[in-house]
């Protein structure tokens, strides 16, 4: 076997290092794409779920207001009761927004972004 000179070895090492860096960049891009798509899917599903729950809540609220109005012959009182309920619910959500809204969203996003099933760090 012919021995390679130092410059040939250095050139081979440079080519391999360049290939390695290029491969790692591609891996990071794919990993970022996967995490972004998981986060996007999480937000889309959450948005659709919130819309469905909101519609259900609106229809249940209207049904209650009309039912209460029929029972007491006073439709306005049913709607005032609903307004008070939503006012109290809104205040509770504002006061507890960190524990009821922000913490679960942060927890879900961090589980998406920092999942441990990847073996990137052990390379």
Angle at 101 between CA 54 and CA 37, to 5 degrees: 85
Tell which residue, 98, 100, 110, has the closest CA to residue 39: 110
Structure tokens given for 25: 């960049």
- The model scores a pTM over 0.85: no
Successive 10-residue mean pLDDT values, the chain, 123 residues: 73 90 94 90 94 96 94 92 94 92 88 68 49
Q: Burial code of 84-101, b = ≥16 C-beta within 10 A, e = fewer?
A: eeeeeeeeeeeeeeeeee
Strands (E), 5-116: none
Domain ranges of the chain: 40-113
What is the per-residue pLDDT for 113? Answer: 82
């Amino acid at each position: 076997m012919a021995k390679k000179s130092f410059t040939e070895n250095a050139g081979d090492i440079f080519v391999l290092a360049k290939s390695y860096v290029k491969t790692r960049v591609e891996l990071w891009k794919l990993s970022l794409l996967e995490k972004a798509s998981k986060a996007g899917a999480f937000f889309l599903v959450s948005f659709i779920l919130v819309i469905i729950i909101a519609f259900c809540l609106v229809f249940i609220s209207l049904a209650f207001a009309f039912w209460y109005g029929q029972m007491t012959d006073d439709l306005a009182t049913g709607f005032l009761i609903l307004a008070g309920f939503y006012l109290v619910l809104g205040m509770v959500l504002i006061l507890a927004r960190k524990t009821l809204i922000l913490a679960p969203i942060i927890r879900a996003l961090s589980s998406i972004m920092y999942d441990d099933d990847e073996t990137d760090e052990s390379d």
